[in-house]
Structure 1
Amino acid sequence: MKRSFFAMLVLLLATATMRAQSVTDMRAVNATGRGAVQPFLFSVNTLTGSNAYWAINASTNYAERTSGQFGYDGAAQQIAIKGYLGNRFTFYANANLGFARNGGLNSAQQAEVIHDFVGGRQAYGARFGLGLGANRDFSSVGAVFSRFTASYEAPRWRLGGNLRVEKAFSGSRDGIDLVTSFGFQHRLVGPVFAGFEAMGQDLEGFWEADEAEGGAKLLIGPSLNITPANSRFSFSASGGAVFYATHSTVPGSGAIRDVGNTATQNGYTIRAMVSFNL
């Protein structure tokens, strides 16, 4: 009888502890009903009806021997605005200012709208979206692109990825550019999530010997996101080694993807971002 009573007491205590931990997890991530604005730096995530708000992101990047989506070859500053338009639509736009190591100064702009056609009504669960956008890069070449987004969020972990298909309006560029990215983060303690990000750029270099940006390039590195409860601020950081998976017969386009860079050198990029919820 005593053993049965003791076993029942242990079971009740364990159940209560698990429920309390679950509530703590939810509060730590979303005490004000808001999740991470931009947990990954190389993948764009969508916002949902349960975190319908606008935010301003300020980020800085330093890179060497990189190109394109990996970062400006030198130092770059970016200001972005991101918001929920309603009916599962997310708006994202940014402006970049690049400081080349040789003293040059360039700018780039981009804007897009993404719609979740699967999920997107709640913060947790799976979401799949499709977006359309346009940009002008550091070499003043314009382009249009589509972005496919996929993500899954839970109280203790999250993952997300993008597939981007871009068409640049320049005869010296590729007919189509392919960029893909993937990230995973797990809660370490409280509002601190850590994991990794991986990215592939100019993937058409795997089958095109004359790929215009010097070949396919890959990145993998650590990822960190901190979104404190009851705070309008959040912080993200990522970066890692950038290396060429293939080498094209073309040395480079001479545009944003080849600023003081050769197609035979590997490099690295480091990026950090602060977000403020409006």
Structure 2
Amino acid sequence: MRTFDFPALAERLLPSVLTAGAAQMRLYESGTAVEEKADSSPVTAADREAEAILLDGLWTAARGIPVVAEESMSLGVAPPRGTTFFLVDPLDGTREFVERRGEFTINVGLVVGKTPVFGLIYAPVLGALYVTLGKGKAVEAYIPPGRTDVSLSDCPLRELKTRTPNIDALTVLESRSHRTTQIEAFLADYSIAEVKRAGSSLKFCLIARGDADFYVRLGPTREWDTASGQAILEAAGGCVTTLAGHPLVYGNGEDSYYNPNFIAWGRTPIAPRRQ
């Protein structure tokens, strides 16, 4: 099995991630047309331009490893199957981008043997970078919006650690765009003291920072939406499970890389009050 130097991989990927982020910022500020894909999800020039930059960067940084990328997949361009592959969402949170809420991200995740082991997430408007540097180690850094000339070694890094939940006063994260009555019913079985809302893969990062205890998603997502966030969260001390409590696994190409419903936990899964 191929081994990876995650800090070196992060350094090699960062230039293309920042360049993709700068391209997105240009279109974010000037405006761009919104189209609809076959699955009725929105897509813009920012999605496509960023993906092209990222694919070039991955070819240089990790040549020979297949890349499953959202916009390429939507056009029917799928790589050969393998147990080691990258998952790329060039613009996670297109609705946040279009509605100018700023909470969109670039996601790059590496899967080895059905498990996401490396994740890099960058939020261009916020300048927030989150990355896995090894087993049990994930960090965050601030890189000013639009900068493309920064290396990871230039940045002060803060290690990410999840928090111990207070099961009598939990903080839960909800999506800004995907709140449902089913999620409200699920949360009714927990003692929720605070609900925070965020877009895109930032929800995984906020739990990894210790800002919340869990996030439940009941509805369609794809593996490129979650792989990078899961890798970062698990390196910070959390886990991501199906509703049945099994680890969320990857490589389901037969089902177009759809995920089952899942929960991202800050530590281990928390039992509901009603069994």
Instruction: Pick the structure with greater CA Rg.
Output: 1
User: 1 or 2, which has the higher strand percentage?
Assistant: 1
The TM-score bracket by the shorter chain reads under 0.3
TM-score of the two chains, using structure 2 as the length reference: 0.26
TM-score of the two chains, using structure 1 as the length reference: 0.26
